Structure 1
Amino acid sequence: MREPVTACIGLGANLGEPVRTLQQALLAIGGLPRTQLVRASRFYRSAPVDAGGPDFINAVAVVETRLDAMQLLAALQGVEAAAGRERPYRNAPRTLDLDLLLYGAARIDSATLTVPHPRLRERAFVLLPLAEVLPDAVDARDLDAVAGQRIAPLPPASLPA
């Protein structure tokens, strides 16, 4: 049996009820086969980057998985589809976006998957929650580089139980 790999998943949504959608997505991720949700960051509100529409709600989840990277990607796309994800055009507003940010120490560059995520270090909405759950994965210089991007943690009281 495959050894477990620590993977990081970026979550984002800006249509419908994004907080509830991210809560449900975390439950779905924790229920994926041969995968265990280890921890998740707080939820953050951020301005869209290279996209339009309302603010996003974002988070990062850490999982231990025995799925290979392509199997995990397919499972995440299934969670997106179940949440009503459509892809009418690049960077369209979305009900749910799940990005495989890191898959252990793997470097993958295929037509369907690039890991580490190619824009990981350019986006505060990924770096801040990632630094919260996996501090060694984020360099302080990267955080400084995205300091001008609008992002703020949601207060815990604003999250439904």
Structure 2
Amino acid sequence: MNTPLNPPSLAEAINAKGFSHAAGFRIVAVAAGSAEVSLPRRDDLLQFFGHFHGGVITALADQAAGIAVTSGLPKGRIGVTVEIKVNFLAPADGNELVARAKTLKMSGSIGVAAVEIFTRKDGTETLCAFCTATMRALDLPAEYR
């Protein structure tokens, strides 16, 4: 495909307001078909015994998958979630969550991404969740084109 890729600045614009901004998601890296997004630990993001809440982990994975798929789409298109599945593998008890997403396949307007979510504690990363997400490519709202 010879069309230009969505710029990494698009991810910043998407992350600048709404839930992603309020949650504190931080974009670490964006490349064509991949993204890394992190989230520092805060008390309001934890469940009752001190681990990151599963909903927070899922939201972070969803954001990373959306950015990964969007980064590989032609300009003027964005990936939005059709389906997401998360497997929780270990307690997310670290100081930070890190989601690393990679687009596995784009076919027409449908893309599938895989996301590994790690919890970071004392310089060590532990895989705490794995996600697959299906995204549909839609036209961006005019303000972002």
TM range (shorter): 0.3 to 0.5
Relative contact order (alpha carbons < 8 A, sep ≥ 6): 1 or 2 greater? Answer: 1
Question: Which protein is richer in strand relative to its size?
Answer: 2
Question: Which protein is richer in helix relative to its size?
Answer: 1
TM-score (norm 1): 0.31
